Every structure is written in structure tokens, then in C-alpha cells.
Structure 1
């Protein structure tokens, strides 16, 4: 079996502050160690349960967070940013399932630790057919369009409801629970490692038995992008696919998860450019 693993950082245990989420931050090395260690735990258990290949997509920020020198040597790793389709880059129909590690709650989730969707500086919320969409939902729609079922999710407790409502077959392992945007409660690391191993074992069994499915949400996808700054909406509203709803919100419609994710990625890059421009106006 060929398994794809998308790994983020904000949903990992022990990661609670921006001081842990960027290479220039004071506590980043600790978060990187946690990310690398738990990636190895997940990969090892996948191999123990029949995986022949494991591809890991380092999927946070500049996407060079996992320490290659400490990574399980059996793993193939995808690193670097920007890249097409971001957190699910190079995912295709040759994979038997997708696993998620360290995923966080959607932008707009009360008490969600470090909550955001794709780009916290740009989007205050992303909605699909009126549903507040997390990166888990967006990436799973893309994976499902490639024919890759969703099998496992380990992350913030606030994702549990999404799993229960939209992907009830998925094995969910809570890694922490948000207390506030910059605070969470996390079990001890030995407890986390045990829970991940047990969850991966169960998920791999489901993959073997074809008990995992594709995520389906009614098409067309009506996507609302709520920006943090109206200037970003100003810059993007003349794109002929966009409809301006208010000062901060644009909407587009598509039948393709691939196109949806591509448009979100482009808007994210444009928004980041505008934020950089504002920072450099003197």
C-alpha cells in the first residue's frame, strides 16, 4: 500500500504560540522536533501495518519544518514552498489513502488554538456551500477528486465534529484541545505516541478492508473567501470569476476541487503580497 501523509504544525501537541511556528521564532526548534518525532511514529506504524511506500508532505509555512536528518529513512518527503496544491502536492490516484497529522481547526473556530485556514494573515474565514471549511475539508475534497480516500486524522479536538459529520469512517486521534487562540491542553507525549500508533493500526486495517471512502459535498462548490483586509478584496474583485459580496468577501463557484484549491492558493499569494506591500510603505 502507498500512503500519503500531510503534516501540519499548529494541531500538534505542545504547540500553542506563534513563537513556535516559524524558523525565525524563538521556540521553533521545539515544534520542529515534535513534528519530526510524531511523523516518524506515524510512518513506522504504517510500515508495520503493511505500507510499502509512505510519502510525507511537510505542509506548514515554508514547508521545511521536518528535520530530514532525523526522519525515518524509509520515508519519501516533499518539502519546500511555494508548490502546486500546497499541503497535498503530488497527491494522485496511485495512493491508497491519505493520512493527516497535526491539523488544526478552521479559521473562525472559537477557542481553536492557532486557528486559520490556509493563510491566517489573508483569510478570516473560508466557506464552501455555507460550511466553515478547514484545511482538512478542502484538502480532503481535493484528495477525493483524485480518487484517494481519507483514512486518518490526528489534530485539534475541535476537528472531531467535522470528522463525525463529513467523514465518519475516518479514524480521529485528538492531540490537544484549544483553551484559547494561544493556549491548549495536551496529553503527555508518551500518551500521544500510543494513541497515534493505535489509530494508524486501525486506519490501515480499514484501508485494507476498503472501509474508507471519498469525501463528497454537493456540487457546484460555492466558495466564499472572507479576507482580513478589504484591500485584498479590492485587488481580486476584477477577476471575472469573482463576485463581491461585501467589503471583505468574494465568492466564486466551481465544480472542481482542484480548481477551488488552486484559486484559494492564488488568492493567498496575492494577499501575502499585499500584506508585504503595506508593511513596506514608508
Structure 2
């Protein structure tokens, strides 16, 4: 059984602030170790369920957060950037299931460190008219590739968002949001035991995703904080304007996901904003 793990950081056990998840932050070094421990719990659960091949994609920020020596030796690590598929780099139809570790709720939600991909640069996103963030877009893209998202870990708001997209996905809340930078923390050992148990149980009979979504075009719409970003992106063929700050494009997933990655790289070149403010 081949398992793919996409690992973000904001939804990791114990982390609540930008100082925990940004390189240079006073608690970042501790945070990256906490991230590895949550991932390792998922790896142990996958091994218990019979996984023989496990790929971990470091999907947060610089994508160099997990120290290779901190990762469980049974897993391979995809590290660094740029990556054509960003948070889903390396995911293929050959994988039997996907797990999302450390994910967070979308922009506008009152979840811990909530945002959509680029902090406050992206004000909102929609997929086929439905509000979407990193969770929904990962789920839809994986389904188009033919891989089912089986387990997601994060705060309670991330778990609620996941359940709204697909109630069959097993969720593990490792903390409970009190505000955007505050949470009621689940004890670390308890949280990681819950992750391990959930992964082992869910992967005992992993579902197979339908690839029907890959055949139909989708529309991705993004509202940017900056009209300059939206205006510049209109230079990309197929991108149209809904208003001065909102653009959209049609295409099939996962190609549309890859195109969105290009949008973010353009936006990054035009802005110099911290991700949490």
C-alpha cells in the first residue's frame, strides 16, 4: 500500500502563532520538531495498516521545515521549492490514499492561523462558486488525480471545514480554537496517539476516489488584497477579471491547481507582506 502525506504546519499540535511557524520566529525551531512528530504519528499509523511505501511532502511555507533526520525512517521526504504542484507535489494515481497533517481553515474563518495559501494577500477563493481554502482544493485535486483523502489533522475549525467537504474523511482535532492566535491545546502525547490510531483505522480499508471530476472543467476564482496582483495576472492566457481584485480561470483539475501555483508565484514577486497580520 502506497500512502501520500501532505504536511502543513499551522494545524500542528501545540502551535498557535506566526512565531511558531515562520523561519526566524522565536519558537520556529521547536515548531518544526512538533511538525515532524505529528507526521511521524501518521507514518506509524500507516505502517500499522500495512503501508509499504510512504511519501511525505513538506507543504508549509519554504517547504524546508521538517528536518530529514527528524522524520520516521520508513518515510521519504519531498523538500524545498519551487514545486509545480506545491502542497500536493508527488501525489500520483499510484498512491492508495492521501493524509493531510497540520492543516488549517480557510481565509475568513476564526480558526488557528487561518488563511488561504498566502496569508492576507488572498482574501477569498471559490471553486465552482463554493468558498474554498487549502482543504477543499486539496481534496478536489486529489479526487481528480484518483486518490482519496482519508485522514486530516488540524484544529477543530479545520476539521469542521473538512467535514463540510467530505464527511467520510476521518478528522483529528489536535487543538480547539479560542481565536486566530489562541487555542485550547490537546496534550501532545494524546494528540499524536489519536493521529496514529485514526490513520491506522482509516487505512485498514481505504476508499478509492472517483476520477470523474478530472473529466469536467472547474472554475477557480480568487479575490486578492491587491488590485495590482489581479491586474498583472490578467496577462496569463485564460485568466479573466470578475472585478478589479478578483480573477478566475477554467480548467480541469489538477491542471488548474498547478496554474494557481503560478498565480501565487507572480503574486509573491509583487508583494512583500508577512503572512499573518
TM (normalized to structure 2)? 0.92
Deviation of the 1:217 alpha carbon: 6.4
User: For the residues of structure 2 that align with 1:214 and 1:24, how far apart are their CA atoms?
Assistant: 42
Deviation of the 1:214 alpha carbon: 4.3
User: For the residues of structure 2 that align with 1:38 and 1:166, how far apart are their CA atoms?
Assistant: 23
User: For the residues of structure 1 that align with 2:198 and 2:165, how far apart are their CA atoms?
Assistant: 19
Deviation of the 1:32 alpha carbon: 0.6
* Aligned pairs for 1:123-202 within 5 A: 123-202=122-201
Q: Which residue of 2 aligns with 1:41?
A: 41
1:92-140 per-position Cα deviation (integer Å, ceiling 9, x unaligned): 111100011000001121x121111122253111111221112121122
Q: Which residue of 2 aligns with 1:270?
A: 266
Confirm or deny: 8 A CA contact 1:150 1:215 kept in the other structure: no
Could you say what secondary structure the match of 1:176 adopts? strand
Comparing 225-234 with 159-168, which one deviates more in the overlay? 159-168
With over 3 angstroms needed to count, the CA separation of the structure-2 counterparts of 1:214 and 1:103, relative to structure 1, is farther
Q: Which residue of 2 aligns with 1:56?
A: 56
Q: What value does the CA root-mean-square deviation take over the aligned residues? A: 2.0
Q: Which residue of 2 aligns with 1:73?
A: 73
Q: Which residue of 1 aligns with 2:16?
A: 16
Confirm or deny: 8 A CA contact 2:146 2:209 kept in the other structure: no
Confirm or deny: 8 A CA contact 2:147 2:208 kept in the other structure: no
Confirm or deny: 8 A CA contact 2:111 2:157 kept in the other structure: yes
Deviation of the 1:234 alpha carbon: 1.5
Q: Which residue of 2 aligns with 1:259?
A: 255
Confirm or deny: 8 A CA contact 1:151 1:206 kept in the other structure: no
With over 3 angstroms needed to count, the CA separation of the structure-2 counterparts of 1:54 and 1:141, relative to structure 1, is same
Q: Which residue of 2 aligns with 1:31?
A: 31
Confirm or deny: 8 A CA contact 2:145 2:211 kept in the other structure: no
Deviation of the 1:201 alpha carbon: 1.7
Q: Which residue of 1 aligns with 2:229?
A: 232
TM (normalized to structure 1)? 0.91
User: For the residues of structure 1 that align with 2:211 and 2:197, how far apart are their CA atoms?
Assistant: 23
Comparing 129-138 with 263-272, which one deviates more in the overlay? 129-138
Deviation of the 1:84 alpha carbon: 1.2
Confirm or deny: 8 A CA contact 1:166 1:215 kept in the other structure: no
Structure 2 residue 234 is matched with structure 1 residue 245? no
Structure 2: which 5+ runs fail to align? Answer: none
Confirm or deny: 8 A CA contact 2:37 2:192 kept in the other structure: no
Q: Which residue of 2 aligns with 1:94?
A: 94
Confirm or deny: 8 A CA contact 2:152 2:159 kept in the other structure: no
User: For the residues of structure 2 that align with 1:42 and 1:144, how far apart are their CA atoms?
Assistant: 20
1:189-225 per-position Cα deviation (integer Å, ceiling 9, x unaligned): 1210121122112211131xxx454487694322111
**Structure 1 ranges of 4+ moved more than 4 A:** 214-219
